[in-house]
Amino acid sequence: MARNKFDIDENLESPFDIRHFKRALVYIKRQKRPMIVALALSVLSAGIGLTAPLIMQHIVDVTIPAKTVGALVGWSALMLATIVISVALAAVRGRIMTSVGQDIIFEIRSDLFKHLQSLSFKYYDDRPQGKILIRVVNYVNSISDVLSNGIINFILEILNLVFIAAFMFAVDVKLSLVTLAGLPVFALFLLLIKNKQRRSWQAVSNKNSNLNAYTQESISGVGVTQIFTREDRNEAIFTRLASNYRQEWMRAIHFNAMIPFTVDNLATLVTTLIYMVGLLALSPQDVTFGVILAMSSYAARFWQPILNLSNLYNGFVNSVAYLERIFETLDEPVSVKDAPGAKALPQLQGRVTFDNVTFGYDTGSSVLENLSFDVRPGESIALVGPTGAGKTTVVNLISRFYDVTGGRILVDGHDIAQSTLQSLRSQMGIMLQDSFIFSGTILDNIRYGRLDATEEEVVAAAKTVRADAFIREFEHGYLTEVNERGSKLSQGQRQLISFARTLLADPRILILDEATSSIDAKTERLLQQGLNELLKGRTSFIIAHRLSTVHNCDRIMYISDKGIAEAGSHDELIEKRGLYYKLYTAQKMEMVV
């Protein structure tokens, strides 16, 4: 799959085979009982409906010639009853299968979401969000009918064909053979277009995914678009992607439409042959007009299940393209997970050791090489250095968002690769560069990582980071509703709320990645007062480009050239007049200017 590109089609890493459909049957088996009831109702409905041509034959050949009005009314009423009962049973079956279809959607979507929650950061680094989202929503919706109604209808239509064929041969064998004459032609036609049809729906899936990815990206970045007046250019890109989707859709529909067109024409041809053979080739002693009428009705009914099966085949081919994507996502390996026999960490003291750690995001290149250092419990560590040197990588490895490619990381002497993720991360407070705010109240956002926290504890955390004052300025205070990503809040306010959320978890190891990057100098001074209290007794890692925020850290590590270029306290590094000194004095000069 082309990574992070909305205009390049995805290449399937595991093409569809019958095993995918067998896996889909797992979801169907969970709905076995209601599906059996629905199938029974369908069979009963179909069986009752098939008696109508026989009743019609009797009326034409016996009742009408006898001119018995009472019998005609009685047979007509019986025929009407069969139609009403058949429709009523089909309606009940429809309601059952609607519920089954929604249950299947729920289970597949739940499994997808659960799996996506367990995938590592690397999976999301490599893929546009829109191409992930479309699999959870659109593709699951598209396959639900095939996995529910499709199975029932397939069995039902096969039974219909058997029943209709039995009724036809019971009425007249020769005309029944005429009806079956079109089947070899139809089978040959399906064989010729099968592969083209499947490839066309794969192309539709690709173009739909591309369009969804670009739409999601454009909505997320609409502010930047308007700032740089890119509306016309973006509209042109969207139009091209939408046009590509339309083109592939029309091509796929062309193949789909060929099937009912062929069935309709074959059914018409067969019906014509029945009349020609019945009226011209056979004598009145061999076949009555009532028989011809009944056989023409059965011929139409015989080809209707074939048309329905063709539509089901169309639906199956369409769904195959979506099942491929869904199961590809479900088969995505969880690269960061609990190792076999992993043990829960005890209450941490906060000692962190890097032992010859090497790591790279891509095979063949590394960000860190043979990195080693030891942090004592309660020590505060500042990570500074040029952009892209690996500062955020260090804290991501401590949190085990990625696994090291060499060496090991120890917390209180325990290898985190052999410890459970829950016991590690639950004792860490992490605030990343992206201050993500969820839709809901400010109270809910602060309490996100600790649902049992009281309102008083939430307020205390907010006061510590100096967020309480601005929160109370809102009309509804802590119960103020915020939009997705906190669009009603300033960047600084979002960071303070995220900071309060992290502090409320009362972590033993605290990680702050550019925690004060969008906070003004006045607020930063207030925040620093709260941080000084918070950091007591906790091991902390602080990444900051603004070096004024790391003066008081116990140790400052300058990350460069895939390792630690120099380390020491602020005063020690200033006295050393090395890389940190140059960076610090450069920032001071910028502030003066």
Q: Most confidently modeled of 138-147, 216-225, 291-300, 361-370?
A: 361-370
Nearest to 4 by CA among 94, 131, 179, 97: 131
Domains of the chain: 18-330 (1.20.1560.10), 350-427+510-593 (3.40.50.300), 432-506 (3.40.50.300)
* 150, 323 contact by CB (below 8 A): no
pLDDT, tens only, 409-461: 999 999 999 999 999 988 888 776 667 788 788 998 899 878 888 999 999 98
Q: Give the least confident one: 232-241, 477-486, 523-532.
A: 523-532
pLDDT at 14 over 50: no
Residues 6+ apart with CB under 8 A from 277: 174, 175, 178
Q: How confident is the model at residue 132 (pLDDT cuts 50, 70, 90)?
A: confident
Q: How confident is the model at residue 526 (pLDDT cuts 50, 70, 90)?
A: low
On whether the pTM is more than 0.85, the answer is: no
Q: Give the least confident one: 19-28, 69-78, 435-444.
A: 19-28
pLDDT at 556 over 80: yes
Q: How confident is the model at residue 515 (pLDDT cuts 50, 70, 90)?
A: low
pLDDT at 1 over 50: no
pLDDT of residue 223: 67
pLDDT of residue 13: 44
Between vectors from CA 101 to CA 98 and to CA 104, what angle results, nearest 5°?
A: 155
pLDDT of residue 319: 72
Token pair listed for 279: 């009226």
Mean pLDDT over 126-141 rounds to 76
Mean pLDDT over 75-95 rounds to 84
Cα atoms found within 13 Å of the Cα of residue 267, Cβ hemisphere only: 19
In residues, how long is the chain? 593
Alpha-carbon dihedral angle through residues 334, 339, 340, 342, given to the nearest 10 degrees: -140
pLDDT of residue 557: 95
pLDDT of residue 559: 93
Q: Which residue has the higher pLDDT, 79 or 352?
A: 352
pLDDT of residue 281: 58
Q: Which residue has the higher pLDDT, 368 or 304?
A: 368
* 364, 559 contact by CB (below 8 A): no
Residues 6+ apart with CB under 8 A from 315: 145, 146, 150
The Cα–Cα gap between 439 and 270 comes to 62
Q: Which residue has the higher pLDDT, 551 or 525?
A: 551
